[in-house]
Structure 1
């Protein structure tokens, strides 16, 4: 694991500790907590950009994560709880045997004298008080679900003699332990003979279901169109069969999953939408995507989040420009709002802990209000018809690289090619599966470790002839002169964490066609 990269600007001990404990982007409340005086608080700006000076105070973690801080942070609390547990066991060991012996002695003479009953009550109260003092909870007797009121209000109407016999068995199950006997959850449903009216209703429902067209041939797996589905050609290793016993690989579904994703690509076409818009150019789109890459890196979001957000931007502009008039089209002032809202939606879809809406308002430098961001979010979801299961080129690339057993540096080079092509408006019309296959082939040729093998042709479903025009277009994108305004992707993949793949020598088109 690479060491944690701290900020280059020298900061105080407390600020450095705060940055280490809170990896990633720090919120305003965390930054204000590190400042010591009131004058320092007045110096804090109300807004923060992704490239503001406050970003230098943030200690970023390594690209592959660091989970050691969470362990160190909780060690003090864990030790404290451990000491309290030792004290609790010691006191209970000393007191409880004595109190229990008193209770046992008083129980032996129970009912013989009022004095014995008094002693027994005192012993019971003492045990309960000790238990409550150390566990913070009263000593509760074991109660059934019916005693707790969960099943108390259910009116059971017996139907026939058979159900009357079952009511006795349900009474027995009600006395069992809540955590152990599963019959508690079945007594209300099982062994109930349906009445004539219920049978008639079921018959009516079944007749209606028979009339429903359940034909799913349009979305069926592409493997069903072949005579022998999942039959690997000779000379091609069966990647899924080799990992069949690994539940995390889902090898029995993997081929169907990616064939299904390929079949859904036709549902998300992107055309030349800029011809229907005025005031927005391909250069503005490239600036927006470059800014979205910077936000993804700053917030340390997944790459799937970035690809989904860019796809949402293109889909929104494609579909909205077809249905709206020229006056209702998005303006260039709202373009950054569209990108921030798309990232907000993608984060909630793909991230385990997505950033808050205030973070996205922050990175826009206060240019938009909360109501504007939420309104744009609703507009995007309405335009894409709430269908966020969009096939992404990044997912296809990982599948193809794993099936071909490509090394991590080569896969990272293919990721650089794919991410750099996100900025090129001329490539948005190609399908994501072909873009992933072309990027992988270009990376293999740039590394001089092979070409388009039968294994890749089988798992991608494309021949070299199918992807060669896209390969040449991607290579042309890499040959474009780097511009400082859109250099985030190149700087990102020039780091040693990403094997400095952006510095790999480029190839000419003649070397890729052979």
Structure 2
């Protein structure tokens, strides 16, 4: 148990000790599993093997995919006994199939099937030929008597779906004759469904401003420069982010901490710090972390949660986010392990179902990290400046004051603050065009993020600072801060 405030105890939010994470960072094989390694630890005393490793060896029971699925030994014995008995000879009465039409007299120039010809062009027909008399002639349809130009293409011989004069069904592999032409609707007539689709498409285009991207003078056209790069999706990248910005009002989060009787903003900060450590230990994508934190706030804004289940909400949110964003998400046993056995598998699955129901199974939530990458890429920001903006944005996840701010504005404010801290430039016309925001639109958010950086760091919340103090991240956490007066000079 960790004391999170005065006389308030909370469920263990950080069972993953610093020693374990240090061993992970030094590439030792005594930590939790990652996407590239198995989940079994070398020390069985720390973490036993999974139940699947101790499962008994199954008998080598072979069965057909479409055959018997009972796996009953008695049934197999009876089946073998019946197979040994000689098969009884049965006489099947031949019936005239629907594809054979009966006429009284053969017409002139009619293709008549000879009585001694059981096959046609090497293709055996299903219809059995009866004894032909003078008053009754068995005639096959004209489509079945055509010569096959391509021997690889087989004609459909199903009697139920073969096209005849008496049937309305047509064969899926029917070939059009050389003289037949497909019927085309007149150019004057318009389908009513097509008109409805065009109206809806026009409304969507007007709403999202699709296809109208006139780049102002002096602004580099990033999408046009990467037009042939399929990974940049430059043809509709602008439309994608316009659509994401239009979806932000659906996921706005109100101030919910007053309705949470058992929770405080400090408890939420501890939970987010623990989630950052989980993301670093499992080597997850940053999008997974941001989506997990968003799911936590979205769930807490609509449901009342006790302090004993707060960590369960965080673990289930990261579990859902990893399934959505990761190529190989961690197993459920890994999330149970990082919770130090505080919850069972049933409890984690039940919480996962509850979170998905609350968010209505809608996981396409716009997150600030995606906006930040788009703005920095279009403005051709260098990697050290982008890493500093990522540090500011990730550090703001622990600040409860940023919950009510839209993600696109958070991304713009963090990038502007990074440019000012590096003393490079301000909010350029390129950033204004691609983000859709002017400096006055997120000026208050910049001050909010800068105030959060000036707060004295507390020892339980040092995961993000330690992460971005490494040389891999250009040690951006050690860059000197600036005052609010220097932000808009």
**Displacement, 1:272?**
0.4
Structure with higher Rg: it is 2
> Once the two structures are superposed, what CA deviation does each residue of 1:170-223 show, in whole Å capped at 9, x if it has no partner?
765249xxxxxxxxxxx8345589xxxxxxxxxxxx778978996356754766
Residues 189/489 of structure 1: CA separation in 2 closer, same or farther (3 Å cut) = farther
Deviation readout 1:344-379 (Å, 9 max, x if unpaired): 000011001100000000000000000000000011
Query: What SS does structure 1 have at the residue aligned with 2:416?
Result: helix
Contact 2:40/2:49 (8 A) holds in 1? no
- Could you say which residue in structure 1 is the equivalent of 2:42? 31
Q: Cα distance, 1:309 vs. partner? A: 0.4
Question: Does residue 1:506 correspond to 2:489, yes or no?
Answer: no
**Structure 1 partner of 2:214:** 231
Q: State whether residues 223 and 230 of structure 1, in contact with CA within 8 Å, keep that contact through their aligned partners in structure 2.
A: no
State the alpha-carbon separation in 1 of the partners of residues 480 and 426 from structure 2: 17
Q: How many residues align?
A: 357
The residue that corresponds to 1:314 in the other structure is: 297
CA distance in 2, matches of 1:285, 1:7: 21
- Structure-1 separation of matches of 2:374 and 2:27: 40
- Tell me: CA distance 1:220–1:309, structure 2 relative to 1, closer, same or farther (3 Å): farther
2:461 maps to 1:463: no
Higher relative contact order (CA 8 A, sep 6+): 2
Greater per-residue helix proportion: 1
Give matches, 1:410-449, under 5 Å. 410-449=385-424
Match of 1:305 in 2: 288
Match of 1:258 in 2: 241
Q: 2:396·2:449 contact (CA, 8 Å) conserved in 1?
A: yes
- Structure 2 counterparts to residues 184-223 of structure 1, below 5 A: 188-189=172-173, 191=175, 215=200, 219-220=204-205
Matched residue of 1:347: which SS? helix
Aligned-partner Cα distance in 1 for 2:221–2:464: 35
Match of 1:365 in 2: 340
Matches of 2:420 and 2:446, distance apart in 1: 11
2:257 is the counterpart of 1:282: no
Residues 229 and 485 of structure 1: is their aligned pair in 2 closer, same or farther, counting only changes over 3 Å? same
Q: Which stretches of structure 1, 4 residues or longer, exceed 6 Å deviation after superposition?
A: 6-10, 22-25, 152-155, 206-214
Pairing of 1:51-450 with structure 2 (within 5 A)? 163-164=143-144, 168-169=148-149, 172-174=152-154, 188-189=172-173, 191=175, 215=200, 219-220=204-205, 224=209, 229-318=212-301, 320-321=302-303, 329-450=304-425
User: CA distance change for structure 1 residues 246 and 450 in 2, over 3 Å: closer, same or farther?
Assistant: same
Aligned residue number for residue 497 of structure 1: 472
Q: Which runs of 5+ in 1 are unaligned?
A: 1-5, 33-40, 49-151, 176-186, 194-205, 322-328
Give CA-to-partner distance per residue, 1:9-52, whole Å, 9 cap, x none.
Answer: 79xxxx989679x87786563424xxxxxxxx4x435599xxxx
Structure 2: gaps spanning 5 or more residues: 1-19, 51-123, 128-139, 156-170, 178-190
Question: 1:104-161 CA deviation, whole Å, 9 max, x = no partner?
Answer: xxxxxxxxxxxxxxxxxxxxxxxxxxxxxxxxxxxxxxxxxxxxxxxx9999xxxx97
